[in-house]
Amino acid sequence: MRACSPISHSGEVLGTTSMLRRMKVIQSDGSIELVPVISGNSFRGVLRRIGEQMLRDVLGYEGLLPLGVAHALRNGGAIVKTSAEPITGRRLHRLRDLVPQLSVFGGAVGAAPIGGCLQVGHVVPIVDEARPMLRGKYPDPLPSRFDVEALETYSHLDDVGPAGGDDASGDGKGVKSPLMRYELETLTPGTRFESWVQIVRGSALDHAFLGDVLAEFVRTGWLGGRSGVGHGRVATALVPEVYAGPDLDWRAVVGARREEALEALTSLPA
């Protein structure tokens, strides 16, 4: 992946500064460097939301599902106390066969999680300090993490309005300025990244579904936060080139069993 806009993925917040999420990486000489990374959980979440949008278009379940089930499809859901039996055995197999979103990404529905067959890696910048965790082989020289890290300053008006406090106007009336400033650490446009995804013991339907999700990520995907204001745009290449698994139209397969899929989803103990 290559950043086409600033990439932000906040970890620690110091005062009014949001720092990048960093990971300790042991170098070949035994020293330790803190390398900014986009977590695999964040990357998986982007893919999950793309998959949910595609499944919603096929099944047309807008407004038809219980809130807990919709949350599980979109964001992974949450484990809650329930007297209902966990989804296991033949019922779980049927659910995976009808709803590739849950089969690939999993989710928490009711009292037990449903495991997905997808594994996702961290998104790692291709910088010198990250060499020990890079899967690809890259020629020297690589930029340092200090070359790709940036600190951006933003401001916004306090919607609450003026309040008593420091006298910012100098007129002695004690009115505080509503202008607020904050800083955000980002990775600069042009930064290159690598990551990986793989399916473990997935069905042909799972492979076809994930192939479409990855193709859509290549077309419209993003990384990190603040996508609503232009951050997170990436240009992505897949190695090997993305394929849709076997010659299978997952939309036709899932759409032909729409009523069964909706029945299975609405019966979940959410």
Last residue of a domain, one of 171, 187, 203: 187
Mean pLDDT of 205-221: 93
From residue 238, alpha-carbon distances to 28, 34, 89, 174, 232 in Å are: 29, 27, 35, 58, 18
Distance, in Å, from the CA atom of 258 to the CA atom of 91, rounded to the nearest integer, reads 17
Q: Do both 217 and 118 map to the same domain?
A: yes
pLDDT bucket at 178, cuts 50 / 70 / 90:
low
More confident residue, 260 or 181: 260
- Nearest CA to 46 out of 111, 152, 118, 148 is that of 118
Q: For the segment 57-116, what is each residue's pLDDT rounded down to a tens digit?
A: 999 999 899 888 898 899 887 766 666 666 777 888 898 999 999 999 998 876 678 889
- In the chain, the percentage of residues whose pLDDT exceeds 90 is 53
Q: Which of 138, 164, 187 is the last residue of a domain?
A: 187
> What is the helix, strand, coil percentage profile of the chain, to 5?
35, 25, 40
Nearest Cα neighbor of 212 from 100, 85, 82, 97 is 100
Residues 71 and 134 in one domain: no
pLDDT digits (tens, 9 = 90+) for 6-49: 998 877 777 777 788 999 999 999 999 999 999 999 999 999 99
Sign of CA dihedral 168, 169, 172, 175: negative
In a shared domain, residues 220 and 262 = yes
Find the Cα–Cα–Cα–Cα dihedral 197, 200, 204, 210, rounded to 10°.
-20
Are 161 and 53 found together in one domain?
Answer: no
Both 95 and 164 in a single domain? no
Say how far apart CA 114 and CA 117 lie, in whole Å. 10
The secondary structure of residue 222, as a DSSP letter, is: B
Domain tally for the chain?
A: 2
- What domain range is 19 assigned to? 2-37+124-187
* 216-268 confidence digits (pLDDT tens): 999 998 898 877 778 889 999 988 765 545 678 999 999 999 999 999 898 88
Helices (H), the chain: 40-59, 67-75, 89-98, 100-105, 145-148, 204-220, 250-256, 258-266
Model confidence pLDDT, tens digit, residues 106-160: 988 766 788 899 999 999 999 999 999 999 999 889 999 999 999 887 777 655 5
Does 173 have pLDDT greater than 60? Answer: no
Answer yes or no: do 113 and 48 share one domain: yes
Q: Name the nearest CA neighbour of 92 among 78, 107, 82.
A: 107
Any residues with CB less than 8 A from the CB of 50 and at least 6 apart, and which?
A: 213, 216, 217, 220, 221
